[in-house]
Structure 1
Amino acid sequence: MVSARTKRQLLVFVFISLVGVSYVGARYARLDTLVWDTSYQVDARFAESGGIFTGAEVTYRGVKVGQVSDMTLTRDGVTVELSIDKGEKRIPANTVALVGNKSAVGEQYVELDPKTDDGPYLKDGSVIATADTRVPISTTEFLTNTDRLVDSVPQGSLRTVVDELGTAFAGTGQDLGRIIDTSNEFIQAADQNFDVTTALIRESNTVLRTQSDKGSAIRSFARDLALFSGTLADSDASLRTLIDNGSATANELRAFLERNQVDLGGLLNNLVTTGQVVVKHLDGIRQILVLYPYEVASGYTVTARTGDHYNARFGFIFNPDPVVCHAGYDPRERRSPTDGTNKRMDEDARCTESARKSNARGAQNAPRPGTGTTVASYDLGSDALTWGDDPGARVVYDGGADQLYGDDAWSSLLLAPAG
C-alpha cells in the first residue's frame, strides 16, 4: 500500500522531470518550434558548404542568434537556411556570412559579420548573395599547401638557419625570460589602456587628414630640403675647410674678445643710445634709403660719360639784384686776408640797410622756414614711391653708373668714401 506521502513525492518528482525535459527540449532540441515559430528565415548562398551542417549555430558579433535549419543543394552551390530569432531584428542586411570553426576539432558555425551598423536590416525572406559569403579553406587544401611550403625550403639552408639560431640564443635564457616577462607587462599595460588606444586610432584620422591637406606644403618642404642637401653636398670642400680651420678662428675670436672686452662693453653700451636714436628716426631713415638711390642716379646723370670723357651737365644762374649790403660795416675794421692774428670779434657789426635796398644780411632778415618743391615722397604704409607734380624735378637715369662700374655699381656707394 503506497502511502499518501509517497504519492506526493512521486507527483513532485514527475512534475520536476516534465519541467526539466520541457526546458531541455525547448532550449537545446528546439522542440518549441513544433508548437509555435519564434524565428524568421534568411537564405545564405554559399559556393560550397565548407563543412556546415543542419543544427549549427548562427552568431552575430559572437552572440548566438539562431541556427541552421536546412541545407539545399543548388546548381551554383549550397543554399543554407538560417533560422534567426525574431528578437534579433537589427542585423544589417549588408552582412557577410562566414563559415568558421569554433575549435580545433572542427565544429563549424555561421558568423554574420556586418559591413555597416545602419539599416536596412535582415527580415524574413532576405537573401545573402554568394559574393557576401565565405567558407574556410578545406583541410585537404591546407595540408597540400603546407606540404608544398615545407618541400620548397632547402634542407641545407634550413639546417644552417637552425644552427645559427642555436648559436645566437645559446646562454641567453635569462635574457629571453626577461623579455617574455616584460612583454607580458607590456600586454597588460596595453590591455588596461585599450580604450585610450582605440580613441587614439579613431582620432588619428584627423591628424592624417591634416597631413593630406598639407600634402603640397610637405612636398615643397621635401623639395627645398633636397635643394638644401644638394647645396651642402656641393659645398662639401668648403665646409670641411671651415670645420678644419674653425677651431683656430674661434681661438682668435676668443682672444680678440678677451683683449677688448672692456672696450667692447663700452661700445655696446654706447650703441644702446645710438639704437634708441635710430629707432626714433626709423621712418625717416627708411625714406632716405628709398630715395637715396635716385639721388645717386642724378649724380651720374650730371656727369654722364661719353667715350673716355665725362660731360658735366649743369648750369649756374647769377643774380646781382639786389646788391650786397655794405651799410653797418666799418671799412676800417676790415682785416687783410694775410692777417692771421687773434682779434676780438665786433659783435655790433650788422647790416643796417633796409631789405628792399640790398641783399640784407643778419639773423633778423633770415627767411622763415617754408615748404619747398617736393621732388618725391615715400609712403611707409604702402611702400609706394610718389613723384612730385613738377615733371622737371624727376631724375632721368641714363645708365652712367652701369657703364662706369658694371654690374657692381652699387658697391661704389660703400667703397668710394674709403678712397
Structure 2
Amino acid sequence: MITSRTKKQLLAFVFITLVGVSYVGARYARLDKLVYDSSYQVKAHFADSGGIFAGAEVTYRGVKIGQVSKLELTRDGVDVVLSIDKSHKKIPADTIALVGNKSAVGEQYVELDPKTDSAPWLKDDSSIPTADTRIPISTTEFLTNTDRLVNSVPQGSLRTVVDELGTAFAGTGEDLGRIIDSSNEFIRAADQNFDVTTALIRDSNTVLRTQSDKGSAIRSFAQDLALFSGVVADNDVSLRALIDNGSATANELRTFLERNQVDLGSLINNLVTTGEVVVKHLDGIRQILVLYPYEVAAGYTVAAKTGDHYNARFGLILNQDPGICSKGYDPAERRTPFDRDQTKQKPMDEDAHCAESAKKTNARGAQNAPRAATGYRAPIATYDLSTGKTAWNDQASSDHVVYDGGAAELFGEDTWQSLLLQPTM
C-alpha cells in the first residue's frame, strides 16, 4: 500500500518533470509556438541557399534575434523565412542578409547587417531583395580557384622561392623571436593608447579635409612659387652681382646717414609739415597735374619759330555758348568806356562775381578753383618792420624775425640747403 508521503513525492516528481519538459520544449524545441507565436516572419530572397538550413540562428549585429523557420524553393532561387522575436522590433528594413560560417566546421547562420540606423523597420511579411543578400563562396569554387592558383605558379620558380626563403631564415630563429616579441609589445602599447590613436586619426581627417578644400589655393601657390623660382633662376647673374656689391653699397649708405643724420632729421621733420599741406590741397594739385601738360602743349602752338624770328599766334572766337554769366553782378550798371564824366565815378564793386555754376557758364575765376580740405585754414602771418615782430592769425606775438646774416652766414656755399632744412612757417 502506498503511503501518503510516497504519493506526495510522486506528485512533486511529476510536477517537476512537467515543468522541465515544458521549459526544454519551449526553449529548444520551440513548442511554445504551438500555443503562442511571439515572433514575426521576414522573407529573404537568396539566389542560392549557401548551405543554410531550417533551425539555423539569425543574428543582428552579433546578437541572436531568432532562427530560420523554413526554406522555400522558387524559380529565381531560395526564399529563407526568418522568424524574428517581437522583442527586436527596430531592425532597419534597409539591411543586408548574409549567410556566414560560425566556425571552421561550417555551421551556417544568417547575419543581418543594416545599412542605416533609421526607419522604416522590418515587420511581419517584410522581404529582403536578392540584391541585398550574400552567400559565402562555395567549397567547390574555393577548391577550383586554389587549384588554378597552384597550377599557375611554375614549379621551378616555386622551388627557387622556397629554397631562397629557407636560406634567408636559416639561423634567424632568435631574431625572429625578438621581432615577434617586439611586435607584441608594439601591439600592447597601441592597445593602451587606443583612445589617443583614435583621436589622432580623427584630427588627421580634419586636417586632410582642410587640405582637400584648399586644393585650388595650394595649386595656385605652387604655380606662383614655380614662377618665382623661374624668375630667380633667370636673374641669377644680377642677384650674384647684387650680393657681391651689396656690402659696399650698404657701407656707403651707412656713411651717408652718419654724416647727415642731423640734417636728414630736420629735413624729414619739415617734410611732415609739407606733407600735411599737400594732403589738404590734393584737389588743386591733381588739377594742376591734369591741366599742365595741355598748357605746355598749347604753348608750342602760340610761340613758333620761323627762320630767325619767333611768331606769336593768337586766335579769338566769340560765341554765346555757353551763355554769358550775369548772375552775381546785379544791380551793376553798365558804363561805356567813353563816359569820362568824373562826377559819375563810383567805387569798384568788390562783391561782384559770377554766381552761376561752372556747368552752366564754364566761368573761370578763383571761385571755381579746387578748395582745400574741409575745416582747413592756412596760417596767416604779418610782419611789422618797425618792431621786428610777427603776428599769426590776427594774434600778436613777441617772436622776432632776424635776417642779419641769415642762411648765407650759417651754410656758406651750401645756402641752397636752407630751402629744405630751414623751419617752415
TM-score, normalised by the number of residues in structure 1: 0.58
Structure 2's unaligned 5+ residue stretches are 315-346, 349-364, 375-425
Q: For residue 103 of structure 1, what is the aligned residue in structure 2? A: 103
Contact persistence 2:284–2:370 (CA under 8 A): no
Q: For residue 30 of structure 1, what is the aligned residue in structure 2? A: 30
**Distance in 1 between residues matched to 2:81 and 2:37, nearest whole Å:** 15
Provide Cα deviations, 1:167-198, integer angstroms capped at 9, x if missing partner. Answer: 9x99687577546523432343224675x579
Classify the secondary structure of the residue corresponding to 1:92: coil
Q: For residue 297 of structure 2, what is the aligned residue in structure 1? A: 301
Contact persistence 2:301–2:313 (CA under 8 A): no
Residue 190 (structure 1) aligned to one of 186, 190, 194: 194
Q: For residue 411 of structure 1, what is the aligned residue in structure 2? A: none
The aligned amino acid for 2:190 is F
**Distance in 2 between residues matched to 1:200 and 1:258, nearest whole Å:** 52
After TM superposition, list the pairs within 5 Å mapping 1:322-333 onto structure 2: none
1:222 aligns with 2:219: yes
Q: For residue 80 of structure 2, what is the aligned residue in structure 1? A: 80
Classify the secondary structure of the residue corresponding to 1:19: helix
**Distance in 2 between residues matched to 1:64 and 1:92, nearest whole Å:** 16
Residue 252 (structure 1) aligned to one of 248, 254, 271: 248
Residue 181 (structure 1) aligned to one of 167, 170, 185: 185
Question: Cα offset for 1:113?
Answer: 2.0
Question: Cα offset for 1:79?
Answer: 0.7
Question: Cα offset for 1:30?
Answer: 1.6
After TM superposition, list the pairs within 5 Å mapping 1:15-414 onto structure 2: 15-153=15-153, 155=157, 158=161, 162=165, 174=178, 177-178=181-182, 180-191=184-195, 194=198, 196=199, 208=209, 218-219=215-216, 222-223=219-220, 225-233=222-230, 235-238=232-235, 240-241=236-237, 244-245=240-241, 247-252=243-248, 255-256=251-252, 259=255, 262=258, 273=269, 276-277=272-273, 280-281=276-277, 283-284=279-280, 287=283, 290-304=286-300, 372-375=366-369
**Distance in 2 between residues matched to 1:75 and 1:266, nearest whole Å:** 107
- Structure 1 residues 376 and 192: alpha-carbon distance in aligned structure 2, compared to 1, 3 A threshold: closer
Question: Cα offset for 1:105?
Answer: 2.5
**Distance in 1 between residues matched to 2:136 and 2:251, nearest whole Å:** 81
- Structure 1 residues 139 and 191: alpha-carbon distance in aligned structure 2, compared to 1, 3 A threshold: farther
Question: Cα offset for 1:71?
Answer: 0.5
**Distance in 1 between residues matched to 2:184 and 2:267, nearest whole Å:** 66
**Distance in 1 between residues matched to 2:167 and 2:250, nearest whole Å:** 57
Question: Cα offset for 1:69?
Answer: 0.3
**Distance in 2 between residues matched to 1:259 and 1:23, nearest whole Å:** 109
Contact persistence 2:280–2:372 (CA under 8 A): no
- Structure 1 residues 313 and 204: alpha-carbon distance in aligned structure 2, compared to 1, 3 A threshold: farther
Contact persistence 1:59–1:66 (CA under 8 A): yes
**Distance in 2 between residues matched to 1:180 and 1:254, nearest whole Å:** 64
Question: Cα offset for 1:111?
Answer: 1.5
- Structure 1 residues 191 and 49: alpha-carbon distance in aligned structure 2, compared to 1, 3 A threshold: farther
Q: For residue 324 of structure 1, what is the aligned residue in structure 2? A: none
Contact persistence 1:97–1:134 (CA under 8 A): yes
Contact persistence 2:283–2:370 (CA under 8 A): no
Question: Cα offset for 1:229?
Answer: 1.4
- Structure 1 residues 150 and 261: alpha-carbon distance in aligned structure 2, compared to 1, 3 A threshold: farther
Contact persistence 2:281–2:372 (CA under 8 A): no
Classify the secondary structure of the residue corresponding to 1:33: helix
**Distance in 2 between residues matched to 1:126 and 1:297, nearest whole Å:** 91
- Structure 1 residues 140 and 374: alpha-carbon distance in aligned structure 2, compared to 1, 3 A threshold: farther
The aligned amino acid for 2:59 is T
Question: Cα offset for 1:83?
Answer: 0.6
TM-score, normalised by the number of residues in structure 2: 0.58
- Structure 1 residues 378 and 18: alpha-carbon distance in aligned structure 2, compared to 1, 3 A threshold: farther
**Distance in 2 between residues matched to 1:27 and 1:312, nearest whole Å:** 130
Q: Percent identity?
A: 41
**Distance in 2 between residues matched to 1:289 and 1:182, nearest whole Å:** 78
**Distance in 2 between residues matched to 1:11 and 1:75, nearest whole Å:** 55
Provide Cα deviations, 1:251-294, integer angstroms capped at 9, x if missing partner. Answer: 33554466466458657865774675477457437546644531
Provide Cα deviations, 1:128-162, integer angstroms capped at 9, x if missing partner. Answer: 12122111222332333344345445636856985
Contact persistence 1:46–1:134 (CA under 8 A): yes
Question: Cα offset for 1:85?
Answer: 0.9
**Distance in 1 between residues matched to 2:41 and 2:138, nearest whole Å:** 27
**Distance in 2 between residues matched to 1:292 and 1:183, nearest whole Å:** 82
**Distance in 2 between residues matched to 1:253 and 1:160, nearest whole Å:** 73
